[in-house]
Structure formats: C-alpha cells, structure tokens
Structure 1
Amino acid sequence: MFFSARRSWLDALYERSYRMQMGEVHLPGLDLYMVNKPSLVKQVMDTHAEAFPKSNLLGEALKPLLGESIFTTSGEQWRKQRSMMDPAFAQARLNVAFPVMQAAVADMLKRLAVLPDGAEYDLEVEMTHVTADIIFRTIFSVPMEGADAKRIFTEFARFQAIAPRLLLPSIYGLRWLVWPWDVWRSRRSAAAIRGLLGQLIRPRFDAHRAGKPSDTTDILQSFLDAKDEATGEGFGFDELLDQVAMLFLAGHETSASALTWASYLIANAPDIQERMHQEVVMHLADRQPELSDMRYLDLVRNVFRETLRLFPPVGFMARQSSAVCPMHKKEIEKGATVVVSPWLMQRHRDLWEEPDAFKPERYNNDASRESLKQAYLPFGMGPRVCMGAAFALQEATLILASLVRHYKISALPGHEPQPVGRLTIRSANGVRLKLHRRKKGI
C-alpha cells in the first residue's frame, strides 16, 4: 500500500473505496479509519468536532512554514485564533477584495496577451500566478512583483513539492525513509519564506505597536487590529507571521488547483464553455466587471462549484480521536486517525447521480439537493469550515469569466492530466491546453 501510494494517496484507492461507508487500515504505529457515511462525517467534522481535533499528520510536514497557525492548532489555542481572524478577514474581504482581484486579473490578461494565438500552454502555471498575486495584494496591498515577491512564490512551490515526501512516511510509520536532504530543503524553503514575509510585516507591526495611525484596509491591517476578547491583546509578531504564511499558502494553492481543473473541464465541454461566454457577454457587454455583476454569472459560478466537487483541492482531512469511540459497529481507539475525504464523498456511488460526470446544472436541480446537503464539502464542515470560501468563490467567478470572455480554451489532443493527491490535488503531468483569442463581441 505504501509503495502504491508513494506518488499520490489517490493511487491507494480502489473502486470499492467509492462505495464503502467506513474503512480501516492498521499500520505500524497508526490506526486509520476512513469515514464516508454522511452521518459519521457530520459527527466527526461538526456535532462532535471537539472530540476529533485536527490530526498532526499534515501538521508535521507544514509546521516549519506555518508554525502555530490556525491550520496546525487545535483546542483553545485554535478557538482564540479563529475568533480573532474571522471578523478581521470578513471585513478585509468586503472592503478591498474585489478591486484587488480586478487588478490582478488585468495583469493576468496582459501576460496571456503575449502568447501566440492558439498557443499550447500549461494553464496551471498562470492559475498559480494569478491566485498568488491576488492573495499577496489582499494581504499586503502591493502586487506580487520584484525579486523578493518572486522568491516567495518560488520557495512556496519548492516547499509544496517536498512536503508529500515528508508526509507519506510519517503516515505509514516509516519516518526512517525520510531523506535528511528533503528535511533540510523543506526547512530551508520555510525559513526563506518566513524571512521574506517577515520583512514585509515587521515595519507595519512596529508602527502599529508604536501607535502610528494607518489608513490601510488590507488583511494585514485587520490582523494587526484584531484583539482577543478575553485579554484585549493582539497577535504577537511570530503569531502574525504564522497566520500570514498560512493565509498565503491556503489562499492561492487551493484556488489555483480548482481553477486549473475548471479550465480543463470546460476545454473538454465546449458547449458549456460557449454558454459561459454568452452569459458573460450578455451581462457585461463591453464594460469592466463590477462586484454586483458576480451574482448574475450563475453558470460560471456553478462550473466552479462542480469543479470543486470533482477535484476538491483538499482531498482528505485528518482528525484524531481524543477518546475511545464506538462508530459504525467498530470501536475506534484513543489516538486513532479518522479521515474524511471530500474526494471520495463527492464521487460516492451511492450519494450522487452520475458521480463522475461534469454537470454544472446539478446546482439548479432539486434532485441534487440532498446530495449537496450531505456529501458536498470542498470547504470542510463544522467549526473548522474554511473562512475564505466566499473569497475563493468570488475570485474564481471573476477569473473564469475573464478567461472565457477573451479566450476559447480547447483541449490538447492526446494530453490527459493525471490527478495526484499531495498537499492539494494537482496534475502530475501539467494541464496543457490551447488558448484562442476571441474576436470582440463574438
């Protein structure tokens, strides 16, 4: 099982995985349970979430970069951080997100404009760039330009490539298979990223602590202003750095993954892509999109939602049982790992009609209501649901609308992307497509 999954945890799945309600695997030093039954998922993720804190399996690989951020913490520490970040993030999103997204998307279109018409292109590269640019601008109020910003981008890509090689041996109790070279490279990249982010944060942190006023309304400012209700204290510098690093990683990697797969899906569904184009042209005509336009791009939004079902960026979420717990005729021991997999839940043969089909119309279909209610969780569920869900949906709608407005995306004959589960679900061989410029008004 280890050797079949060493490229990707998706390779360890079988067809029966998509029908089971609960499965178990016992490894050296690790008892692992996979729950697919909706009532069990709700128990683990929502109604009894406190009894199933976040597992440290993924945290081990990410902690050198993310430190004690809300991605890696649990219990009271997590609750304190989340209570400080939720209102800060919501305020920043409403105040500044859309103009920032518009500016980054305009730069994306400029980069694509230099490509020859009909050029073969790995769209994964551009989707990673534009989403990283958006979250960078949203946090710091500056575009992702210059040597330092590009180095942050490069080091993040390097860190993500190494992380699975550290994670998989830990899951299987085979830490001795981790190469010291990979550990060193991972820590070096994490230190470089944190150092560069720290250089951006430090002047504003010191100015804020000195009581200097600021008229900036970005996420960093909101985090600087956030206070713990119980103590009245704000984030310390290291805490702030942890949260910013987490937000940059989560804020661009997950969206880039989903947008890349969305581009591939519509390239292979030209009728849906053409309807998206017509929807965008009908509502926008020749003007620039505004925030109020996003609500009318129903098909564009549903294409992204359906992409999140078929290719959820986070394919599995690991929790740890805090006590002996009976579950589905089994007794889960204290300390056992309980995994909820959006990838399996959202393709489950007993929970969806045509589970592997790309059907954006299912989101306007009453017949899909129960499936969406009980088996759709690309942003998680319960108290740890992703606080950036609305941000991601707005960002994706704008990016996809801009792409189909200006380009016709077509599949490359003979190229079939191979999904691999690492930190997010990406393609092992890229996502190569052809971009054809549309004539104005057509």
Structure 2
Amino acid sequence: MRRFLRGWRSWIDVLFERSYRMKMGEIWQPGFNIFMVNEPQWVRRILVGNAPDYPKHELMHRMLEPLLGSSIFTTNGEVWARQRRLVDQALGHARLKRVFPLMRDCVDDMLSRMDTKADGEPFDIDAEMTYVTADIIFRTILSEKLSSTDAATIYEAFVEFQHHAQRSMMLSMYRLPSFLPRRASARSAVKIRAVLARLIAQRFEKRNAPEQPEDILSALIAARDPHTGDGFGYEELVDQVCMLFLAGHETSASALGWSLYLTAQCGHMQSRMLAEIDTEVGARPFEYGDPKALELTRDVFREALRLYPPVGFFVREALQTHCMRNKTVPKGSPLLISPWLIHRHQSLWERPNEFDPDRFGTPAGKASLKCAYIPFSAGPRVCPGAAFASQEAMLILASVVRRFTLAPVAERVPKPVGRVTIRSENGIWIRLMRRPAEGR
C-alpha cells in the first residue's frame, strides 16, 4: 500500500536507496512480479542480443494507446517490423541537413521570445522548451508554424495526459479498475491528436496533388514497404505522426529543460561553452555541421540525458520462463529497464549524482558510456529520431548560451516526477540576462 501511494504521484518515489546499488530486483505485485534489471549484460541481452524474445509489455500499450494509438512505440512483432521499415524509410528521406534551416528559424523565434524575459526575473523555462521543440516538429513534419494557441493547448493537454496515464498504469499494475484515469487521459490525448489530425487530413486528401511540401509527412505518405508494396493508411499515419511528435517534442523538451537547469547552476561551464562557440563558430549564424564541432555542448547535453533521461523506464515481457541471476522469471513477467536507475547506479558510474560533463573524457566515463548509457534505448527499438533530437538540442543549447547568461533560482528547486517522461512537478525556473551585444 505504501508503494502504491508513492507511485500514485511518480514512479520515481517508489525507488529506494538500495535500488541504485542492486543488479536485479523483484517487486511483488498482485498476480505477478516485476523484475528490475540493472546489470549491463542482461540489459544488452534484453534490448539488443535477444530482443525478439523480449517484446514491449502490454502495460506500455495500455498507458500510451490513447495518445499514440498503434504506432511503433507500442506495437510488437510483424506489425512493428512493417511500421518501423516505413518510418525508417521516411526519416531517411528527411536528411538532417535539409531540416537544419527550419530548426534554426524556430530557434531564432525562440530567442526573440526569450529576449522579452531577459531581465533577471525568474521564469519557467519548461514551457518555452515545450514550445520550441513542438514548433520544430510542426515545421519539419508538417511544414506548418506552430501557433501560440496550439502550443498552449498541447502543453496543457500533455501535462494532464501524463498525470492521468501514470495513475492508470499504477491501477493496472495492482489489478484495480483504471477506467476513470484512462478516460481522463483519453480526453487529454484527443486534444493533442485533434491539432495534428486536422493538418494530416488536409494533406492526406491532397496526397496525389503536384508540388507537395518536402517534409517528413510527405515522406511518410510516400513510404512503401519493400516486402508488400503497401503504405500507411490515414489512421496509421495519424498514429505514427503522434508517435514522432511525442518522441521528437516531449522528450526533447524534457531533456532541454533539465539541460538549461544544470547549465544555470554552473557559471564556469557557461564560460567554457561560450569560449568554444566563439572559437568554432564566432558571431555568424549557426550552420549545418556546427553543432558537431561543439564537443563541450555535446557533453553537457549527454550529462543532462544521463541525470534526467526523458523516458525513465522501458518495460519488456519475457516470452518464456527462464533463469536470470539465479531468479526464475516466469513467462509473461514484466522486465523493467530504467535509464534513470542505470544512469545513476553506484557501481556503474563514478560520482553518479554529480553533474560533470567532463566525465566522458575519462577512461571510467568512456567505459560507462559504452555499457551503462541508454537514453535513446538500444538495439532494434532504438529511438529512430536520436540524431534529429541531438542536433536540435545542441543547436538550442548553444544558441541560448551564446545569447544569454543563465542563473539559478535558489528558492525554486525543481522536483523531478516520473510519469510518461521525467519532468519537474513545479517547473524549471531560471533567470536570464542578455549578454553584451558586441561580437554577437
């Protein structure tokens, strides 16, 4: 009962200090047990080596289906394989170089909005990161600029969706009726899907017309399965775009909010980042390829992903009864792999709770990066938009640091909560000051 009440607010609250030391744990639930797997060898076996034997568990589908439908985030087997082939084909056409100017335009608009708040007064950066990442997804997928009205609708609806989806999952895990929070999460999902479906429907009806925009939606419509020759129907298309929207906007917004919070705590790190930007880019506008040259900015983002991975856990299902670390794992058991735990595990990282972007240049840090770092998952179900998200995040981080000095707000410490993604329950508050104009 104590665990249930803690998890009602956030699954992070269910964890104990020993959770960050154990290699494998077992949580007893009514009717079944959940196995928490932290050992890198088994994590790799589940996600990479023997991935077909560990499909996604129905708990994830049940929680996310109202928003994502039957998309590659929730499906399994041949359905997933077909969808993944089509999505990979579409994203392959959307080259990072081609979308970079669209990203840069969105970031320029973001900087203009942030200029109005660069007076040293505290403000919540979380909402702005949600706006800019959603705007980037709108422009690159749909060739549409996101209005402030739609941005507010999406932000508020997703906060509601996460709140109710978490409670729905907790009730399902305890074999309790979950129809009320499921109905509430579905209402929130409808608001988000309606914004996207309206635009998708217009484009789908005109899919055979000449001179279609060269964006990700066009690539999804045109994608054909090399095995069957078929493509996505309208409902499938909406599901996949909703999945890409969540993966490309909500997770990026979460990661960027925490990145800016951590950067605001470290004035010396900002100075080093700024010096690197001045050396590699100077005062000119950012161009494609510039983010790759900003190694410190990359490591700041890496470290933020380590401490605050947007998706805090993956749930897989054991297709067969087998032994794992001297424990019998019955067929059908949920296996929980948590980047939040693995990235903060005391035996896998030095000073696991400290923010230290320089750790990735040390032998220990490089070893941990190789075996205990999975912010985008791993194996065949690795995030298809990882490169897109990294380019977007580094451009935003570098642009903000070049334009502003960031400072923390001591009286407003963020409180991480684990729901669909890891967000701050009370926002992420920082102070912004405009840097001197000369040279920038």
TM-score after normalising by structure 2: 0.96
Q: Does the C-alpha gap of structure 1 residues 201 and 440 become closer, same or farther in structure 2, counting only changes over 3 Å? A: same
2:406 corresponds in structure 1 to 409
1:331-387 Cα offsets, whole Å, 9 max, x none, are 110110001111111111111111111111122223322211110000001110001
1:389 corresponds in structure 2 to 386
2:316 corresponds in structure 1 to 319
Partner Cα separation in structure 2 for residue 441 and residue 379 of structure 1? 39
Q: CA deviation at 1:153?
A: 4.5
Query: Does the aligned pair in 2 maintain the 1:119–1:435 contact within 8 Å?
Result: yes
Q: CA deviation at 1:215?
A: 4.3
Q: Does the C-alpha gap of structure 1 residues 433 and 80 become closer, same or farther in structure 2, counting only changes over 3 Å? A: same
- State the AA in 2 paired with 1:24: E
1:158-195 Cα offsets, whole Å, 9 max, x none, are 32332212122112222x2x462x33332223233333
2:205 corresponds in structure 1 to 206
Partner Cα separation in structure 1 for residue 15 and residue 325 of structure 2? 21
Residue 372 of structure 2 corresponds to residue 375 of structure 1: yes
**Structure 2 gap ranges (5+):** none
Query: Does the aligned pair in 2 maintain the 1:281–1:441 contact within 8 Å?
Result: no
Q: Does the C-alpha gap of structure 1 residues 397 and 116 become closer, same or farther in structure 2, counting only changes over 3 Å? A: closer
Residue 82 of structure 2 corresponds to residue 83 of structure 1: no
1:234-285 Cα offsets, whole Å, 9 max, x none, are 1000100100111111211111111111111111111111111121122222
Counterparts of residues 173-322 of structure 1 (less than 5 Å): 173-174=175-176, 176=177, 178=178, 180=180, 182-208=181-207, 211-322=208-319
Number of aligned positions between the proteins = 437
**Which of 21, 33, 42 does residue 40 from structure 1 map onto?**
42
Query: Does the aligned pair in 2 maintain the 1:88–1:226 contact within 8 Å?
Result: yes
**Structure 1 gap ranges (5+):** none
2:337 corresponds in structure 1 to 340
Counterparts of residues 7-18 of structure 1 (less than 5 Å): 7-18=9-20
- State the AA in 2 paired with 1:219: I
Partner Cα separation in structure 1 for residue 162 and residue 27 of structure 2? 26
Query: Does the aligned pair in 2 maintain the 1:131–1:252 contact within 8 Å?
Result: yes
Partner Cα separation in structure 2 for residue 8 and residue 139 of structure 1? 32
- State the AA in 1 paired with 2:182: V
**Which of 156, 159, 167 does residue 158 from structure 2 map onto?**
156
Partner Cα separation in structure 2 for residue 30 and residue 85 of structure 1? 34
Query: Does the aligned pair in 2 maintain the 1:138–1:218 contact within 8 Å?
Result: yes
- State the AA in 2 paired with 1:173: R
1:170-226 Cα offsets, whole Å, 9 max, x none, are 12222x2x462x333322232333333222112221222xx3233421110110110
Query: Does the aligned pair in 2 maintain the 1:96–1:138 contact within 8 Å?
Result: no
Partner Cα separation in structure 1 for residue 152 and residue 20 of structure 2? 40
Q: Does the C-alpha gap of structure 1 residues 257 and 196 become closer, same or farther in structure 2, counting only changes over 3 Å? A: closer
2:134 corresponds in structure 1 to 132
SS of residue in 2 equivalent to 1:331: strand
1:428 corresponds in structure 2 to 425
**Which of 33, 41, 55 does residue 53 from structure 1 map onto?**
55
Q: CA deviation at 1:319?
A: 0.4
SS of residue in 2 equivalent to 1:72: coil
Partner Cα separation in structure 1 for residue 279 and residue 192 of structure 2? 43
CA RMSD of the aligned region, Å?
Answer: 1.6
- State the AA in 2 paired with 1:406: R
1:330 corresponds in structure 2 to 327
SS of residue in 1 equivalent to 2:210: coil
Q: CA deviation at 1:328?
A: 0.8
Query: Does the aligned pair in 2 maintain the 1:300–1:401 contact within 8 Å?
Result: yes
Q: Does the C-alpha gap of structure 1 residues 214 and 95 become closer, same or farther in structure 2, counting only changes over 3 Å? A: farther
Query: Does the aligned pair in 2 maintain the 1:144–1:150 contact within 8 Å?
Result: no
1:131-157 Cα offsets, whole Å, 9 max, x none, are 111111111011101655653444334
Query: Does the aligned pair in 1 maintain the 2:131–2:151 contact within 8 Å?
Result: no
SS of residue in 2 equivalent to 1:291: coil
SS of residue in 2 equivalent to 1:89: helix
2:415 corresponds in structure 1 to 418
Query: Does the aligned pair in 1 maintain the 2:72–2:83 contact within 8 Å?
Result: yes
Q: CA deviation at 1:90?
A: 2.6
Q: Does the C-alpha gap of structure 1 residues 265 and 152 become closer, same or farther in structure 2, counting only changes over 3 Å? A: closer
Partner Cα separation in structure 2 for residue 135 and residue 157 of structure 1? 18
Q: CA deviation at 1:116?
A: 5.0
Counterparts of residues 16-27 of structure 1 (less than 5 Å): 16-27=18-29
Q: Does the C-alpha gap of structure 1 residues 355 and 148 become closer, same or farther in structure 2, counting only changes over 3 Å? A: closer
Partner Cα separation in structure 2 for residue 19 and residue 42 of structure 1? 18
- State the AA in 2 paired with 1:197: L
1:357 corresponds in structure 2 to 354
- State the AA in 1 paired with 2:417: V
Query: Does the aligned pair in 1 maintain the 2:30–2:175 contact within 8 Å?
Result: yes
